[in-house]
């Protein structure tokens, strides 16, 4: 695999500066993951931004009973990080792991910060990267604030059907905040 999705993403963030795109792409390091590989473990400080070229990552935490609670799935073309904790140097409450065999690009946070001070276009990139991540998180948050689990499932079914083909029912149920049996009942209801 190459870095086509990464380059496309970078071009979206810097349309007025195409000459900067290869420079920024050079700061990313490719990493191939097997299903279950952990790139950020709860209790660690997040050192990077992770761009998904192929496969998917999932962000989760363990509740007091030890069960994994999925809070986000990051598919191709998306970026994830625990930026708040990484920026502040505070250990993350979350784990980020490969949900399937994946190819990701890793951008070291300190390297990006250093380059931001050296090049104004990289500073623009950094701001737009964070803004893009914030907008995605805001949309995700609104989905969970405004809709019931059944409505969230129907939203995903309509707007992101590819997720339903790639995420296990157990992980999807956890993500929706319901148990697997309830998810099966929701899925069984046919919409007209």
Name the β-bridge partners of 95.
60
Query: In this predicted model, what pLDDT tens digit does every residue of 107-141 receive, in sequence order?
Result: 999 999 999 988 999 999 999 999 999 998 888 88
Residue 27 and residue 126: Cα distance in Å, rounded?
12
Coil vs helix vs strand at 68: strand
Pick from 125, 137, 121, 108: nearest CA to 48: 108
Helix (H, G, I), strand (E, B) or coil at 77: coil
Give the global pTM: 0.92
pLDDT single digits (tens) 64-95: 999 999 999 999 999 999 988 878 889 999 99
Q: For the chain, what is the mean pLDDT?
A: 92
Kindly tell me the sign of the dihedral angle through the C-alpha atoms of 135, 87, 78, 117.
positive
Asked if 166 contacts 35 with a C-beta cutoff of 8 angstroms, the reply is no
Is residue 175 within 8 A of residue 73, CB to CB? The reply is yes
What pLDDT does residue 189 have?
85
Residue position matching structure tokens 């086509």: 4
Least confident stretch, 18-27, 50-59, 81-90: 81-90
151-154: long-range contacts at Cβ-Cβ below 8 A with a sequence spacing of 24 or more?
152/176, 153/183, 153/186, 153/187, 154/191
Q: What is the mean pLDDT of residues 35-57?
A: 96
| End-to-end alpha carbon distance in the chain | 41
């Amino acid at each position: 695999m190459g870095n086509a999705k990464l380059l496309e993403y970078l071009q979206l963030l810097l349309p007025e500066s195409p000459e900067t795109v290869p420079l920024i792409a050079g700061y990313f390091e490719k990493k191939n993951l097997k299903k279950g590989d952990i790139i950020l473990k709860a209790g660690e400080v997040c050192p990077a931004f992770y761009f998904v070229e192929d496969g998917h990552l999932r962000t989760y935490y363990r509740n007091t009973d030890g069960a994994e609670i999925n809070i986000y799935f990051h598919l191709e073309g998306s970026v994830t990080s625990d930026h708040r904790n990484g920026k502040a140097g505070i250990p993350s409450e979350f784990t980020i792991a490969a949900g399937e065999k994946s190819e990701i690009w890793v951008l070291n946070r300190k390297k990006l910060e250093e380059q931001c001070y050296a090049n104004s276009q990289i500073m623009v990139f950094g701001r737009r990267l964070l803004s893009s991540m914030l907008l995605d998180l805001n949309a995700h948050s609104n989905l969970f604030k405004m809709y019931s689990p059944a409505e969230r499932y129907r939203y995903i079914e309509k707007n992101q059907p590819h997720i339903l083909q790639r995420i296990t029912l157990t992980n999807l149920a956890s993500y929706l905040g319901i148990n697997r049996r309830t998810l099966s009942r929701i899925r069984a209801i046919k919409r007209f």
